[in-house]
């Protein structure tokens, strides 16, 4: 039975009144997670027995993967066997009243079942379909099977590491494509729904997670592209005597005023690349001699290669804890940030203020909320991730208006799978 104690999205939630039929699987399902967090009614259509996301990746909580707990939160589940005509009938009825369908199969999979955009648009001309896949619906890689890290390695955002035995391995890194793809897809889908409501015509939105990983890393790739032009057209910073530095953070390895330093109990990031922040720092620590020796340029000055100053700063930063340096930054209007880990960040007071946990008591696991505030609060999902088919009765009766006889007929025809 549905969890009647779970919070329900407010009628004034940003996407209240939007209904989405979701036939995505695994990580791409995060696309509709964002929309469900914002109040959309997301109906998760699962195969009989449920989607295998519940069995993927560690850790497992109460025998179910964290991936499912997080990605499927706030959604309603119904099981349909789309290999049967009865299952297809129910799916088409859901589409007739939906704003959008989201699918994450390999390109062309829904078309082969007669559920492609053209066919579904005949049922609902205002329908938006969003297709999310690994490499997108075109190009030589479109049909390659893949998993999330492939999009990051393809996009050039992961550098292979080598262990003591000479074996290459995947270093720890923040996954990008598997998260950015759903974000870009959610943005595109909302834009398409707005257009459909204005014009009465739907559209097909399509996003590749590999494309999204590359787009998120635009600064480095666009810098390399810019460097292909003549040096009299594209230069480095004036502060660096116009030298072309390596793109992104790779060009900051020998920075001094923009660098990581060890504190008394961890690390901090110092970012005094503007002259005023450098001056404020030096005044705050009582070392105006450092400023007088090299005040630097007004903007974008990392004091690259100034090893003497770097040695002085190394000694200075080691004298206080990270928390003390953060307080110092606020008191003296200078630029210092903590260097956290995915484990330590939960103890950071800024984290506690901005990202209040969605509690396990309500949602099955402690998980992070949607990170955008509306009128001062993070939106709360409809409820915890569903069990397979958990909301079938309320969807079939409340959304589609089926009576008991209709449901029994569909069940006999195998719409919800065979017992």
Give the three-class secondary structure for 258.
strand
Average pLDDT over every residue of 351-379: 95
Return the percentage of the chain with pLDDT > 70, whole number. 97
Verify cis geometry, omega within 30 degrees of 0, for the bond prior to 8: no
C-alpha distances in Å from residue 61, one per residue of 49, 56, 65, 285, 367: 19, 12, 6, 48, 12
The token duo for 359 is 């509690």
Average pLDDT over every residue of 285-293: 97
pLDDT beyond 80 at 105 = no
| Whole-number pLDDT of residue 2 | 39
Contact status, residue 290 vs residue 309, Cβ threshold 8 Å: yes
The backbone torsions φ and ψ at residue 166, rounded to the nearest 5 degrees and listed phi first, read: 85, 5
Q: Which helix (H) or strand (E) holds 288?
A: helix 288-293
pLDDT beyond 50 at 337 = yes
| Whole-number pLDDT of residue 136 | 94
Average pLDDT over every residue of 129-148: 93
Give ranges for CATH 3.40.50.10540 in the chain.
Answer: 19-215+355-413
Q: Which one, of 74, 33, 71, 37, lies nearest residue 51 by Cα?
A: 71
- At 110, is the pLDDT very low, low, confident or very high (cuts 50, 70, 90)? confident
Tokens 């001309």 belong to: 125
Using N-to-C axis directions, what is the helix angle for 177-199 and 148-155, rounded to 10°? 100
Q: What is the mean pLDDT of the chain?
A: 94
What tens digit of pLDDT does each residue of 15-60 get?
A: 999 999 999 999 999 999 999 999 999 999 999 999 999 999 899 9
C-alpha distances in Å from residue 221, one per residue of 48, 238, 252: 44, 21, 16
Give the CATH superfamily of 19-215+355-413: Crotonobetainyl-coa:carnitine coa-transferase; domain 1 (3.40.50.10540)
The token duo for 320 is 């206080």
C-alpha distances in Å from residue 386, one per residue of 31, 231, 247, 390: 17, 57, 44, 6
pLDDT beyond 90 at 111 = no
Q: What is the DSSP letter of 356?
A: P
| Whole-number pLDDT of residue 11 | 66
| pTM as predicted | 0.91
259-339 in CATH: which number? 3.30.1540.10
What is the bridge-based pairing of β-strands 128-133 and 258-262?
Answer: unpaired
Give ranges for CATH 3.30.1540.10 in the chain.
Answer: 259-339
Cite the DSSP H helix spans in 13-147.
30-37, 66-71, 85-96, 109-112, 117-123
């Amino acid at each position: 039975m549905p969890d009647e104690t779970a919070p329900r999205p407010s009628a004034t939630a940003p996407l209240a009144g939007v209904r989405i039929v979701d036939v995505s699987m695994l990580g791409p399902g995060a696309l509709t997670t964002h929309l469900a967090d914002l109040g959309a009614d997301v109906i998760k259509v699962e195969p009989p027995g449920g989607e295998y996301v519940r069995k993927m990746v560690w850790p497992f909580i109460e025998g179910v993967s964290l991936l499912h707990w997080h990605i499927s939160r706030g959604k309603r589940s119904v099981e349909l066997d789309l290999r049967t005509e009865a299952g297809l009938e129910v799916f088409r009825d859901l589409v007739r009243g939906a704003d959008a369908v989201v699918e994450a199969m390999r390109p062309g999979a829904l078309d082969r079942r007669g559920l492609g955009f053209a066919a579904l648009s005949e049922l609902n001309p205002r329908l938006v379909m969003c297709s999310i896949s690994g490499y997108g619906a075109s190009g030589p890689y479109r049909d390659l099977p893949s998993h999330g890290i492939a999009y990051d390695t393809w996009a050039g955002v992961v550098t292979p590491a080598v262990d003591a035995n000479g074996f290459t391995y995947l270093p720890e890194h923040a996954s990008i494509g598997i998260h950015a793809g759903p974000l870009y897809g959610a943005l595109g889908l909302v834009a398409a729904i707005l257009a459909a409501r204005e014009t009465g015509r739907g559209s097909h939105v399509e996003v590749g997670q590999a494309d999204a990983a590359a787009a998120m890393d635009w600064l480095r790739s666009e810098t390399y592209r810019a460097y292909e032009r003549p040096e009299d057209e594209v230069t480095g910073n004036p502060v660096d005597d116009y030298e072309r530095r390596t793109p992104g953070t790779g060009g900051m390895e020998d920075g001094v005023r923009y660098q990581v330093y060890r504190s008394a109990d961890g690390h901090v990031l110092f970012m005094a690349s503007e002259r005023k922040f450098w001056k404020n720092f030096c005044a705050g620590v009582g070392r105006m001699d450092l400023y007088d020796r090299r005040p630097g340029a007004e903007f974008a000055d990392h004091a690259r290669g100034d090893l003497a100053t770097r040695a002085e700063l190394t000694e200075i930063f080691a004298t206080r804890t990270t928390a003390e340096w953060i307080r110092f930054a606020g008191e003296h209007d200078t630029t210092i940030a903590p260097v956290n880990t995915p484990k330590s960040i939960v103890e950071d007071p800024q984290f506690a203020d901005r990202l209040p946990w969605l509690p396990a008591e309500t949602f099955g696991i402690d998980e992070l909320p949607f990170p955008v505030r509306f009128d001062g609060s993070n939106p709360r999902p409809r409820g915890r991730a569903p069990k397979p088919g958990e909301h079938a009765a309320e969807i079939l009766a409340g959304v589609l208006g089926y009576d008991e006889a209709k449901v029994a007929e569909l069940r006999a025809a195998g719409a919800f799978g065979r017992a």
